[in-house]
């Protein structure tokens, strides 16, 4: 494709229009500097049958290095990020990502480390993993932790696999898993992938799961209950003790989605609440970057009776040496290649070492204080569907603005014009038009005030100039995009010649 000069003009001042990189391509340009081979180049493919060889080179762009750097720099300017501003996404824990962790992750002794080195040659990495598992077990109160899962949903699935393996070892894998209606969509999807039918339980009028509701559906066909605590309404499931008793009495297990662990580090431990399995989200609670959608890391903590079922390999310490063990006959097996997202674990480890136990507790305390502070500022202006005590996040809805025909989506889009990323919206599903706000501990009080002021201004705009709110965003690089068209006439790649 020829370079197209007409697309290079500024869109608005120094906010640049930027085409696809393939549109910057010109035959003969290159952005690489490759070593010469020491083998003879003509030998490279002489012995390979021609049917196996590429008939034509892959249609990658042909661009010089600066064009690549400029292209991706311009694209980056179109993103909102924690570095550019507050990101109050509920249940996502968008806290600051410390820079020292990035520097440490780039030490070549870790970043260039091959996973199949003999254990004697990777003691540092194995020690880091072993210690991180110990720290996480202590923070959440579990017997052991596997670091293998690559993300939260992967951790859920790994946890449910262990639950199934446990029941199978008792003679019956059981058929059903109980999931409250406030659960994240991955919970039922992960259960299903483990062969379970999902039974949804309604949460009570206070937004809390009622032990009686669990007792009604609990029997010996139920393998586990999968709860989130604090739940996605930001409320502590105060009946957790009774619920665990009811489930355990029938031989079931209690799984806890640990997405909201940032609310209680050093304050309370899921393992002490008779929870049997929990997945951590290192990219939430432990400050590792979200990367625009991964890589995350979803370690899983288990109580003693589930230890035999942990995935392999397991990191062990014997006689002062660290090693990987595979000989665990009751293990659910491998869940991922190699050992998990090591570079993410490394950042979480650095975070825990910098914070210490006291620092982690302070983080949770300040996260909860910040959420309650925002709640106090916004209460009365926005509808608060569940007035119980909030922990790390608070859920409002668009109900007060019904007459103005301004919806949660409009509020979210208008926040972009005010310079803030919107909260999580329309989730949890039990709240109509939910706005789920989680400020985290890393935003200072001035920013919290500005964010509250923006939401209060939008409420006023909705009352007096609702069209302006419904037409938002006006100040972003694109306006509201046609998602129906995107799904009905999918364009999932740039056009090709062949």
Partner 1 sequence: MRYIPHTKRDVERMLEAVGADSVDKLFDSIPERFQLQRDLALPSPLDEEALIRHFNQLADGNCSSAKCGASFLGAGAYWHHIPAAVGQMLLRGEFFTAYTPYQPEASQGTLQAIFEYQSMIAALIGCEVVNASMYDGATAAAEALLMALRAQRKRKRILLGRAVHPEHRAVCQTYLSETPAALESIPFTTAGLTDLDALAQALDETVAAVLIQQPNALGNIEDLETIGRLVHEAGALLVVSVLEPVSLGLLEAPGKLGADVVTGEGMGLGSGLNFGGPGLGLFGTQQKFAWQMPGRLVGQTTDEQERTGYVLTMATREQHIRRARATSNICTNEGLCALAAAIHLSLLGKTGFAELARTNAANARELCRRLDELPGVQRKFSAPFFNEFVVQIEGDVPQKLHQMAQSGIIGGLALEKFYPELSNCLLLCATEMNTLDQVERLVAALES
| Residues 151-210 interacting with partner 1 (rule: CB under 8 A) | 151-154, 156-157, 161, 164, 184-186, 188-195, 198
For partner 1, which residue of 175, 248, 328, 336 counts as binding (CB under 8 A)? 336
Considering only residues 340 to 369 of the shown chain, the ones binding partner 1 according to CB under 8 A are 340-344, 350, 352-363, 365-366, 368-369
Closest approach, Cβ 493 to partner 1, in A, equals 4
Considering only residues 256 to 295 of the shown chain, the ones binding partner 1 according to CB under 8 A are 264-269, 272-273, 287, 289-295
Closest approach, Cβ 144 to partner 1, in A, equals 16
Residue written as tokens 């310490």? 317
How far apart are the C-alpha atoms of 26 and 495, rounded to whole Å? 16
Q: Which stretch binds partner 1 (CB under 8 A): 211-219, 430-438, 459-467, 487-495?
A: 487-495
Closest approach, Cβ 374 to partner 1, in A, equals 9
Structural tokens at position 58: 């892959």
Beta-carbon neighbour count of residue 385 at 10 Å? 16
Omega before residue 473 within 30° of 0, cis: yes
The reply to whether 319 sits near partner 1 by the rule CB under 8 A is no
Q: Is 214 exposed, middle or buried (0-12, 13-18, 19+ CB in 10 A)?
A: buried
CB 211 within 8 A of CB 246: yes
Nearer to partner 1, 194 or 224 (CB): 194
Q: Which residues pair with 256 in a beta bridge?
A: 227, 278
CB 370 within 8 A of CB 439: yes
The SS3 of residue 167 is helix
Beta-carbon neighbour count of residue 307 at 10 Å? 16
Structural tokens at position 138: 């202590």
Omega before residue 295 within 30° of 0, cis: yes
CB 332 within 8 A of CB 79: no
Nearer to partner 1, 20 or 454 (CB): 20
Considering only residues 437 to 476 of the shown chain, the ones binding partner 1 according to CB under 8 A are 441-445, 473, 476
Nearer to partner 1, 14 or 52 (CB): 52
What stretch of H or E contains 134? helix 123-140
The reply to whether 483 sits near partner 1 by the rule CB under 8 A is yes
The reply to whether 89 sits near partner 1 by the rule CB under 8 A is yes
In terms of Cα–Cα distance, which of 151, 163, 146, 144 is closest to 312? Answer: 146
The reply to whether 493 sits near partner 1 by the rule CB under 8 A is yes
Nearer to partner 1, 403 or 488 (CB): 488
Contact mark string toward partner 1, 38..57, x via CB under 8 A = xxxx-xxx-xxx-xxxxx-x
The reply to whether 98 sits near partner 1 by the rule CB under 8 A is yes
Closest approach, Cβ 105 to partner 1, in A, equals 8
Contact mark string toward partner 1, 396..425, x via CB under 8 A = ----------------xx--x----xx---
What stretch of H or E contains 133? helix 123-140
Q: Which stretch binds partner 1 (CB under 8 A): 116-124, 214-222, 453-461, 462-470?
A: 116-124
| Helix 342-378 × helix 123-140 angle, to 10° | 30
For partner 1, which residue of 5, 10, 13, 108 counts as binding (CB under 8 A)? 108
Considering only residues 67 to 86 of the shown chain, the ones binding partner 1 according to CB under 8 A are 68-69, 71-73, 75-84
């Amino acid at each position: 494709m020829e370079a197209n000069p007409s697309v290079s003009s500024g869109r608005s001042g120094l906010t640049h229009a930027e085409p696809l990189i393939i549109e910057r391509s010109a035959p003969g340009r290159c952005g690489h500097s490759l070593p010469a081979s020491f083998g003879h180049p003509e030998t490279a493919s002489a012995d390979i049958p021609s049917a196996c060889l590429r008939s034509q080179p892959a249609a990658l762009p042909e661009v010089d290095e600066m064009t690549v750097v400029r292209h991706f720099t311009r694209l980056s300017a179109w993103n909102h990020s924690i570095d550019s501003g507050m990101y109050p996404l509920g249940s996502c824990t968008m806290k600051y990502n410390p820079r020292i962790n990035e520097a440490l992750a780039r030490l070549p002794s870790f970043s260039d480390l091959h996973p199949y080195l003999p254990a004697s040659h990777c003691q540092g990495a194995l020690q880091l993993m072993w210690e991180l598992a110990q720290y996480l077990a202590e923070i959440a109160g579990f017997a052991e932790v596997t670091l293998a899962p690559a993300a939260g949903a992967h951790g859920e699935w790994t946890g449910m696999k262990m639950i199934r393996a446990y029941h199978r070892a008792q003679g019956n894998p059981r058929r059903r898993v109980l999931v409250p209606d406030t659960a994240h969509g991955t919970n039922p999807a992960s259960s299903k992938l483990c062969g379970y039918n999902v039974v949804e339980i309604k949460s009570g009028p206070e937004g809390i799961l009622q032990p009686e509701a669990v007792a009604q559906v609990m029997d010996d066909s139920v393998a586990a209950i999968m709860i989130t605590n604090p739940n996605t309404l930001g409320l502590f499931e105060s009946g957790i003790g009774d619920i665990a008793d009811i489930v355990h009495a029938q031989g079931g297990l209690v799984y806890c989605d640990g997405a909201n662990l940032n609310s209680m580090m050093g304050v309370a431990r899921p393992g002490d609440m008779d929870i049997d399995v929990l997945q951590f989200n290192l990219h939430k609670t432990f400050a590792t970057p979200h990367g625009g959608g991964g890589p995350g890391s979803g370690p899983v903590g288990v109580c003693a009776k589930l230890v035999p079922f942990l995935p392999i390999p397991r990191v062990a310490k014997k006689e002062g040496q660290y090693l990987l063990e595979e000989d665990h006959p009751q293990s659910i097996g491998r869940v991922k290649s190699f050992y998990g997202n090591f570079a993410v674990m490394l950042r979480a480890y650095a975070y825990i070492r910098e914070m210490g136990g006291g620092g982690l507790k302070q983080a949770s305390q300040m996260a909860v204080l910040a959420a309650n502070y925002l709640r106090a500022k916004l209460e009365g202006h926005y509808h608060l569907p569940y007035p119980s005590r909030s922990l790390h996040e608070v859920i409002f809805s668009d109900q007060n603005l019904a007459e103005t025909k301004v919806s949660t989506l409009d509020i979210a889009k208008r926040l972009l014009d005010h310079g803030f990323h919107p909260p999580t919206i329309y989730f949890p599903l039990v709240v109509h038009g939910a706005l789920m706000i989680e400020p985290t501990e890393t935003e200072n009080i001035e920013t919290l005030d500005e964010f509250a002021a923006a939401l209060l201004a939008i409420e006023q705009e909705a009352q007096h100039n609702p069209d302006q709110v419904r037409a938002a965003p006006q100040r972003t690089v694109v306006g509201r995009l046609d998602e129906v068209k995107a799904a009905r006439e999918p364009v999932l790649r740039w056009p090709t010649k062949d």
